[in-house]
Chain A
Amino acid sequence: MSEFRMPQLGADMAAATLTEWLRKPGDVVKHGDIVAVVETEKGAIEIEIFEDGVIDKLLVDPGTKVPVGTVLATIDGDHTEAAGVSTAPPPTTPIEAAPKPAPRPAKAPEKPPRPEAQRHPPADRLKISPAAARLAAEHNIDIRTLAGTGPDGAIGLTDIENAIQGTASAGGPGGPGGPEDKSKDTPEAAMRRAIAAAMSRSKREIPHYYLSTPINMSNALDWLEEANRNRPVTDRLIYSVLLIKAVARALEEFPELNGFWNEDEFRPANDIHIGWAISLRGGGLVSPALHNANRMEPDPLMAALRDLVKRARAFRLRGSELSDPTITVTNLGDQGVETVFGIIYPPQVALVGFGRIVDRPWVVDGAVQPRRIIQASLAADHRVSDGHRGGLFLSKIDRLLQEPETL
């Protein structure tokens, strides 16, 4: 028997509310299955299980906020043999008879909106977490009257709780601009506090060093434009894909930049999971993982990136995407700045930043020519690596970007 615990979804998370079980006792689960939804300051997160087995007991009720590490369920790990000796098998549900008792597509990334949200015409474009939608429905709260306080105006549990409180105490709906209970944290404030905690820890504990170098992007962009010329708009690549791929490939030779600093020692990661910084439209940001980005071809990587950005903004990220990144990459260039001075997201040990692509004079074969230049920067943890290696790493990214067809 093993335990399924509330995962640590990033250094800034201390607790989360379990909002929904997607599996029930007796269900067979496989490594990677999504079994529950939790509400965090980063929105609703689908959490996965990382072993095969059978769900024995669910120990935490939906709606309960529990600290990281709390046992949420017990799992019968070796179900083929242990099924008979399990202390509390669901009496009427033989495991073999129900290979997939829950018809819910556990891995469908494109989950249709919940009925509560679907009732409204698409023009409303309400953003609401599933848990919040359900709570609203239970209390007959008209979510169209609410101003979401979450990033991107999304309506979270707190908004519904406030609205319920408003209806109960003041007799009026908690509408936009209503007085806020200071003791409650809005999702936006919660995310801001979480970012503050992680960044304060980073600046307090991590001896950062910073390097920056200009990289000629003309080859990469020419290649990209040519590749996109014959593609329908739905299949086109954006240059971020090349940046991510180049960083991921370069990291293969620089394990000291890819991993985690925990308990006074560095543990290099076995895989390369790029945390891609996504700014949320209402403020705040998340950096979910693009798993094994070094091994992905540009097209699947583009598809994964699109899916990730979409789900980050819809607040439907998965637990592993928040807990797995082994390094962070941010492209603030799209917002117009030329150089990024990153703050490492602990327990990671490096962050790569890219600025805006600008036309600059560049010397080619002894002659000055215009080229499209991007400023690549590295913030790295001096406890783990030195500037010399960091510089070689940036050079490697540069070399890879000169041969975009090999990425």
Chain B
Amino acid sequence: MNDETLKNALIDAILEIAPEADFDVLDADDDLRAQLDLDSMDFLNVMIALHEKLGIDIPESDYPKLFTLNDAIGYLREKKTSPADP
């Protein structure tokens, strides 16, 4: 699974929660929650959508590793390439 696929899954997951999100103007290194006005319920729903799309269960303690678009893609890439980690 390449970065483009992961990015698209992430964008789709976010769009389910924030349909108005414009990824052309989004700063990929800034906090998604602040930029897209995601509250804790919204963020949890993004995590659930990622779980459904990619089969990755992200522990709550890892949430801060997904606060920016670039961090999140890096995190997902790592998760996808180390299947030993449940």
Q: How far is the CA of A127 from the CA of B45 in the complex (A)?
A: 18
5 A-B pairs within 8 Å (CB atoms) are namely: A152-B19, A233-B51, A233-B58, A282-B20, A334-B40
Q: How far is the CA of A334 from the CA of B44 in the complex (A)?
A: 13
Q: Which residues of A contact B37 (CB under 8 A)?
A: 281, 335
Please tell me if the beta carbons of A233 and B41 are within 8 angstroms of each other in the complex: no
> What 8 new A-B contacts, CB under 8 Å, besides A225-B60, A281-B37, A282-B20?
A127-B19, A152-B19, A153-B19, A233-B57, A238-B41, A240-B40, A334-B39, A334-B40
**In the complex, B59 has a CB within 8 A of chain A:** yes
Q: Which residues of B contact A127 (CB under 8 A)?
A: 19
Q: How far is the CA of A334 from the CA of B42 in the complex (A)?
A: 10
**In the complex, B48 has a CB within 8 A of chain A:** yes
Q: Which residues of A contact B60 (CB under 8 A)?
A: 225, 228-229, 236
Q: How far is the CB of A232 from chain B (nearest CB, A)?
A: 6
Please tell me if the beta carbons of B44 and A305 are within 8 angstroms of each other in the complex: no
Knowing A125-B15, A152-B20, A281-B20, the reply to whether A236 touches B41 (Cβ < 8 A) is no
Q: How far is the CA of A232 from the CA of B51 in the complex (A)?
A: 9
Q: Which residues of B contact A203 (CB under 8 A)?
A: none
Q: How far is the CA of A127 from the CA of B18 in the complex (A)?
A: 12
The residue in chain B whose Cβ has the minimal distance to the Cβ of A313 is B17
**In the complex, A37 has a CB within 8 A of chain B:** no
Knowing A233-B51, A281-B20, A282-B20, the reply to whether A238 touches B40 (Cβ < 8 A) is yes
The residue in chain B whose Cβ has the minimal distance to the Cβ of A227 is B60
**In the complex, B2 has a CB within 8 A of chain A:** no
Q: Which residues of A contact B19 (CB under 8 A)?
A: 125, 127, 152-153, 281
The residue in chain B whose Cβ has the minimal distance to the Cβ of A234 is B48
- Give per-residue flags for A281-311: 1 if the beta carbon is below 8 A from chain B beta carbons, else 0: 1100000000000000000000001100100
- Give per-residue flags for B15-27: 1 if the beta carbon is below 8 A from chain A beta carbons, else 0: 1101110000000
How many of B's residues come within 8 Å of A, CB to CB?
20
Please tell me if the beta carbons of A236 and B44 are within 8 angstroms of each other in the complex: yes
**In the complex, B61 has a CB within 8 A of chain A:** yes
Knowing A225-B60, A334-B39, the reply to whether A233 touches B20 (Cβ < 8 A) is no
Q: How far is the CA of A234 from the CA of B50 in the complex (A)?
A: 11
Q: Which residues of B contact A281 (CB under 8 A)?
A: 18-20, 37
The residue in chain B whose Cβ has the minimal distance to the Cβ of A310 is B45
Which listed residue, B18, B34, B44, touches A233 by the CB 8 Å rule?
B44
| Interface-centre pick from A127, A229, A233 (highest chain B CB count, 10 A) | A233
Q: How far is the CB of B83 from chain A (nearest CB, A)?
A: 17
Q: How far is the CB of B63 from chain A (nearest CB, A)?
A: 10
The residue in chain A whose Cβ has the minimal distance to the Cβ of B60 is A228
Q: Which residues of A contact B48 (CB under 8 A)?
A: 233-234
Q: Which residues of B contact A240 (CB under 8 A)?
A: 40-41
Q: How far is the CA of A233 from the CA of B53 in the complex (A)?
A: 13
| Interface-centre pick from A125, A281, A336 (highest chain B CB count, 10 A) | A281
**In the complex, B72 has a CB within 8 A of chain A:** no
**In the complex, B76 has a CB within 8 A of chain A:** no
**In the complex, B10 has a CB within 8 A of chain A:** no
**In the complex, B47 has a CB within 8 A of chain A:** yes
Q: How far is the CA of A159 from the CA of B79 in the complex (A)?
A: 45
Q: How far is the CB of A399 from chain B (nearest CB, A)?
A: 24
Q: Which residues of B contact A225 (CB under 8 A)?
A: 60-61
